[in-house]
Structure 1
Amino acid sequence: MFVFGDSLFDPGNNNFLNISATQGKANYPPYGETFFHYPTGRFSDGRLIPDFFASFAGLPLWRPYLDPANHNFVVGANFASAGACVLVENNPNTLNLQIQLGFFKEVVNLLTQQLGDTDTKKLLREATYISSIGGVDYMIFVNSSSNITEPAMQEYVNIVIGNITEATKEIYELGGRKFAFQNVGPLGCYPHMKAEFNSTGECVQFLQILATMHNNALAKVAEELEINLSGFKYLMFDFFTSLMDRANNPTKHGFKVGDNACCGGGVYHAQNGCGFLTEEYELCSDPNEFVFWDAYHPTEHCYSQLVELLWNGTGNVTWPLNMKQLYDLDIDTEVSSQNIDLLDDA
């Protein structure tokens, strides 16, 4: 598995960047307290969705790609970076999608040197490419734009989706065939956004509209890529609906709190950071009771529910495949079968 994304997937790459904690690090307590029992750089109290994937697939947890220790790239790599954007200009402090793509190309070269061209191509063909990116672009857009009209939103979405499409095609050209897209979350339901835009407890609707525009466009693009690129297979995980349902109906899913963050300060525990030495914050006694760990990110317990939906779920949350089906899919057999079907049709 090769992982691309932002803080929802970052295992600690930002620990190795020359930035401050306020610019995108989670390498201080109480982050990581539930599972690792120390801060790893993950923006949660424990594991993230790619960590659960690794466990399900029998793979070791990936270290951050930027970790200088030796890596075994035969099992993949995680390039995700908290604050990462699709658009290069949006957040120059972190690893935008183009930088992550560049790192992936470096890994391809290293694998080719290690395994040879034939085995590397087979590995890349059978690998799964997981991505979760775009949400930060939209949060920056709403904070920097005074013209939040639906046409302006759609124009911006088109630019973001265009860049994701081109990056996906580049991975395909390098040999990638199996893509798992996690759509943008319910931005208007995040505690920070509700606090910032003075919501009265409801999700912020224009943010929800923006996220929905992105998600609809992403689903359409993925479907078109499967039609136009031979051997291209994908899944779309409805992170938006799955997380929003838990935020708005916490008790239905075994949580007690869906609006306040477990860790933070101020309204919704979302105005002060979680663990910043310069800010006052509160920490809940049991993160398992909360949907959100901090102002933007779910708890490990919430992630554990979401990843179960993604790994084994049905078409109402992940389509046209779930993660287990995509991961187990033999691309060579699939393509051969399609070619036979085409011959039969002829």
Structure 2
Amino acid sequence: MISNWKVDYIQKSVFMISIGMEDYYNFTKNNPNAEVSAQQAFVTSVTNRFKSDINLLYSSGASKFVVHLLAPLGCLPIARQEFKTGNNCYEKLNDLAKQHNAKIGPILNEMAETKPDFQFTVFDFYNVILRRTQRNMNYRFSVTNISCCGVGTHYAYGCGLPNVHSKLCEYQRSYLYFDARHNTEKAQEAFAHLIFGADPNVIQPMNVRELMVYPVNEPMREFWEDPMDEKLSLVQY
């Protein structure tokens, strides 16, 4: 039996969730010629699992959720290296990420509408990364297509592994990616500031600061809105 203070602690806690990166990467690697219908079916299976996992957390007492949308997975150094795209992103992976992301907001809206104490917000990680990839110097990243640490054409393998003579860049703060899949400390610090205090162009329907102080058991008054429908302003974030 869970004590009252633990129930209160869990209800007030913020659960941050990111799911799908490895699923879609491995699916694309193992099924390079998958038809559109197979891609759509796989996205549905991943997002259904996401919904099931959220429901499991909710049934265990969690009520506040921060959900990361997927980054443009085809722009990861490991994807560029694995699929040999050079300086270009691998668009098949990006398309899967976009399909996945399009389903997340509606799933969470439905849950908030049917569970009065369910609270959430969605961090648009896809466009946050894409902006830094396409307009890198605006954010003072001189290198966005390869990793700071690793081996291979994009230094996307072996960082930190024994018996692998990994290259380590001289100045990691100029890099967007530290290794094959993970961002540098400088990038993560910027993302943390956005999650905590940015406006709806980046995180909606509220930022984490607002979610943390939102009264427990209080129904949400605002919900996720499709940025394409609402034409949210393209401010630099």
CA distance in 2, matches of 1:150, 1:202: 22
Residue 73 of structure 1 corresponds to none
Residue 51 of structure 1 corresponds to none
Mapping 1:181-220, distance limit 5 Å: 181-220=67-106
Residue 291 of structure 1 corresponds to 176
**Does the 8 Å contact 1:127/1:178 carry over to 2?**
yes
* Cα gap change, 1:180 to 1:252, in 2 (>3 Å): same
Correspondent of 1:158 among 44, 58, 62: 44
Residue 307 of structure 1 corresponds to 192
* Cα gap change, 1:229 to 1:147, in 2 (>3 Å): farther
CA distance in 1, matches of 2:151, 2:131: 24
Residue 326 of structure 1 corresponds to 211
Report the 3-state secondary structure (helix = DSSP H, G, I; strand = E; otherwise coil) of the residue aligned with 2:154: helix
Correspondent of 2:161 among 276, 299, 311: 276
> Once the two structures are aligned, what percentage of the paired residues are identical?
26
Q: Aligned letter for 1:246?
A: R
Residue 126 of structure 1 corresponds to 12
Could you list the runs of 4 or more consecutive aligned residues of structure 1 that deviate by over 3 angstroms after TM superposition? none
Deviation at 1:196, TM superposition (A): 1.3
Report the 3-state secondary structure (helix = DSSP H, G, I; strand = E; otherwise coil) of the residue aligned with 1:268: coil
Residue 57 of structure 2 corresponds to 171
CA offsets 1:308-342 (integer angstroms, 9 cap, x no match): 1111011011010111111121214x24x98xxxx
Deviation at 1:146, TM superposition (A): 4.6
Deviation at 1:236, TM superposition (A): 0.5
Correspondent of 1:227 among 113, 123, 142: 113
Residue 50 of structure 1 corresponds to none
Mapping 1:102-113, distance limit 5 Å: 112=2
Structure 2 residue runs without a partner (length 5+): 222-237
Deviation at 1:244, TM superposition (A): 2.2
1:138 matches 2:56: no
Residue 343 of structure 1 corresponds to none
TM-score normalized by the length of structure 2:
0.88
CA distance in 2, matches of 1:219, 1:150: 22
Structure 1 residue runs without a partner (length 5+): 1-108, 339-346
CA offsets 1:138-185 (integer angstroms, 9 cap, x no match): 111111225422211110011111111111112112221111101112
CA distance in 2, matches of 1:146, 1:283: 31
TM-score normalized by the length of structure 1:
0.61
CA offsets 1:105-134 (integer angstroms, 9 cap, x no match): xxxx6xx2xxx2x22222222211111121
Q: Which has the higher contact order (CA 8 A, sep 6+)?
A: 2
Question: What is the RMSD of the two structures over their aligned residues, measured on CA atoms?
Answer: 1.7
CA offsets 1:42-100 (integer angstroms, 9 cap, x no match): xxxxxxxxxxxxxxxxxxxxxxxxxxxxxxxxxxxxxxxxxxxxxxxxxxxxxxxxxxx
CA distance in 1, matches of 2:149, 2:133: 16
Deviation at 1:294, TM superposition (A): 0.7
* Cα gap change, 1:164 to 1:329, in 2 (>3 Å): same
Residue 82 of structure 1 corresponds to none
CA distance in 2, matches of 1:164, 1:142: 19
CA distance in 2, matches of 1:256, 1:143: 29
**Does the 8 Å contact 1:249/1:258 carry over to 2?**
no
CA offsets 1:200-239 (integer angstroms, 9 cap, x no match): 3121111000000011111211111111111111000011
**Does the 8 Å contact 1:243/1:306 carry over to 2?**
no
Deviation at 1:280, TM superposition (A): 2.8
